[in-house]
């Protein structure tokens, strides 16, 4: 069948496209640099012609509070309207575990707004909520960095490798719409500060990590369970050591 992946050139999008093509599906990797833009609407109707499934894996170019909200709202509205016009039968989107528990984070508010547009669109849908990608550990370290130390939350993290995320997203796209949320997570849970310290040690970065229950995580304070799921999420196969052994170094 024809499957359109919005953000099909990104980290998760390109891996999901590869998996679905291996299953013999016709996959369009849609993104501004392939002529499809969900903000301007450019190329959208043409890309969606005869598509049965659309997977939204786009991300905002800016994480600033107002810009990110505008991105997910405009993109979500344009995309769901175009899907309805094209007769798409299943909309799949990737969101974040705990997004609705952390309204002080502008990025997570934007993901909640994206989810609402999907739920209210009338399209059959599956929202896959994932924990943080292992590929994002460096970004988390950077966000907490002040000089030679990095002050990080003691809330729990259960990161998942992008290869596992792509497996789960591809599986969801080929299954019947859940018309609800499914959750996915990595195999190991530890305090965010401890996971990042492990990552920094592994890459030979000597910066000290200071555990701080008050340290903000992208604009919000975390409770112990804010970013993890206890709703029996599907668990990825790749643990930190296995991921790190094959992860591309920047
Ligand atoms: N990072 C995490 O830990 C995490 C956890 C759970 C869920 N998520 C979610 O996972 C999703 C995918 O993240 P990712 O890291 O794979 O993203 P990414 O690598 O940054 O890729 C983003 C993709 O979106 C495309 N895009 C940007 N603007 C667009 C537009 N106007 N129209 C169409 N496509 C557009 C980009 O195309 P160009 O390259 O051409 O700009 C690119 O293909 C995001 O929705 C994110 O919220 C992330």
Q: Ligand 1, atom 10: nearest CA belongs to which residue?
A: 94
- Binned at pLDDT 50, 70 and 90, residue 144 comes out as confident
Asked whether the predicted pLDDT for residue 250 surpasses 60, the reply is no
The answer to whether the CB of 39 is under 6 A from ligand 1 is yes
Instruction: Report, as an integer, the average pLDDT of 162-171.
Output: 98
> pLDDT value at position 51?
98
Where in the sequence is the domain holding 152, given as residue range(s)? 2-246
Q: What percent of the chain has pLDDT over 70?
A: 99
**What would the 3-class secondary structure string for the chain be?**
CEEEEECCCCHHHHHHHHHHHHCCCEEEEECHHHCCCCCCCCCHHHHHCCCCEEEECCCCCCCCHHHHHHHHHHHHHHHHHHHHHHCCCEEEEEEECCHHHCCCCHHHHHHHHHHHHHHCCCCCEEEEEECCEHHHHHHHHHHCEECCEEEECCCEECCECHHHHHHHHHHHHHCCCCCEEEEEECCCCEEHHHHHHHHHHHCCCCCEEEECCCCCECCECCCCCCCCCCCCCEECCCCHHHHHHHCCCC
Does 248 have pLDDT greater than 80?
A: no
Q: What is the pLDDT of residue 148?
A: 83
Is 94 close to ligand 1, i.e. is its CB under 6 Å away?
yes
- For the segment 118-125, the average pLDDT, to the nearest whole number, is 98
Whether the model clears a pTM of 0.95, i.e. scores above it, the answer is yes
Ligand 1 close to Cβ of residue 136 (< 6 A): yes
Whether the CA torsion 106, 107, 109, 110 is positive or negative: it is positive
What is the distance in A from the centroid of ligand 1 to the CA of 58? 4
pLDDT at 40 over 60: yes
CA-closest residue to ligand 1 atom 36: 7
- C-alpha 143/C-alpha 152 separation (Å) is 9
Banded model confidence at residue 249, pLDDT cuts 50, 70, 90: low
Which pLDDT value is given to residue 247? 82
Asked whether the predicted pLDDT for residue 215 surpasses 90, the reply is: yes
Q: Which atom of ligand 1 is closest in space to residue 93's alpha carbon?
A: 45
**Distance, CA of 196 to CA of 182 (rounded, Å):** 26
Give percent of the chain above pLDDT 90.
93
Ligand 1 mean position, distance from CA 208 (Å): 30
236: region left, alpha or beta (phi > 0 left; psi from -120 to 50 alpha): beta
Q: Which atom of ligand 1 is nearest to the CA of 96?
A: 6
53-56 and 90-96 strand pairing:
parallel
Lowest mean pLDDT among 46-50, 152-156, 166-170, 202-206: 202-206
pLDDT value, residue 186: 98
- 185 pLDDT band, cuts 50/70/90, is very high
Q: Is the pLDDT of residue 221 over 80?
A: yes
Q: Would you say the CB of residue 214 lies under 6 angstroms from ligand 1?
A: no
- For residues 156-181, give the mean pLDDT: 98
pLDDT of residue 143: 86
- Whether ligand 1 lies within 6 angstroms of the CB of 235 is answered as no
Decide the pairing of beta strands 145-146 and 149-152. antiparallel
CB 236 near ligand 1, within 6 Å: no
More confident residue, 250 or 19: 19
Mean per-residue pLDDT over the chain, rounded: 96
Total structural domains in the chain? Answer: 1
Q: Using the mean position of ligand 1's atoms as its centre, give its distance from the Cα of residue 223 in Å.
A: 26
In the reported structure, the alpha carbon of residue 184 is separated from the centroid of ligand 1 by a whole-number distance in angstroms of 18
Is 76 near ligand 1, meaning CB less than 6 Å away?
Answer: no
Backbone angles phi, psi at 225, to 5 degrees: -105, 15
For the domain that residue 72 is a member of, what is the CATH number?
A: 3.40.50.720
Contacts of 81 (CB under 8 A, 6+ apart): none
Q: By the 8 A CB rule, do 39 and 64 touch?
A: no
- State the closest ligand 1 atom to the C-alpha of 114, by its place in the atom list counted from 1: 45
Q: Which of 6, 10, 110, 226 has the most ligand 1 atoms within 8 A of CB, as the residue to mutate?
A: 10
* pLDDT score of 147: 79
């Amino acid at each position: 069948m024809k499957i359109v992946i919005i953000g099909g050139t990104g980290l998760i999008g390109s891996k999901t496209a590869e998996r679905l093509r291996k299953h013999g599906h016709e996959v369009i990797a849609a993104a501004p640099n392939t002529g499809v833009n969900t903000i301007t609407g450019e190329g959208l109707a043409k890309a969606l012609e005869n598509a049965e499934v659309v997977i939204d894996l786009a991300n905002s170019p800016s994480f600033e509070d107002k810009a990110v909200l505008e991105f997910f709202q405009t993109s979500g509205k344009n995309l769901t309207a175009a899907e309805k016009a094209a007769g798409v039968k299943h909309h799949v989107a990737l969101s974040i575990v705990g997004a609705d528990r952390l309204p002080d984070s502008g990025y997570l508010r934007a993901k909640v707004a994206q989810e609402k547009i999907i739920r209210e669109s009338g399209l059959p849908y599956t929202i896959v909520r994932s924990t943080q990608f292992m590929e994002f550990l460096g970004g988390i370290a950077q966000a907490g960095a002040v000089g030679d130390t990095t002050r990080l939350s003691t809330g729990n993290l259960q990161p998942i490798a992008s290869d596992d995320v792509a497996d789960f997203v591809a599986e969801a796209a080929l299954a019947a719409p859940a018309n609800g949320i499914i959750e996915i997570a990595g195999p190991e849970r530890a305090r965010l500060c401890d996971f990042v310290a492990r990552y920094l040690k592994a890459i030979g970065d000597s910066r000290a990590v200071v555990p701080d229950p008050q340290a903000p995580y992208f604009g919000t304070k975390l409770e112990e369970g804010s970013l993890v799921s206890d709703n029996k999420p599907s668990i990825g196969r790749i643990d930190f050591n296995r991921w790190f052994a094959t992860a591309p170094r920047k």
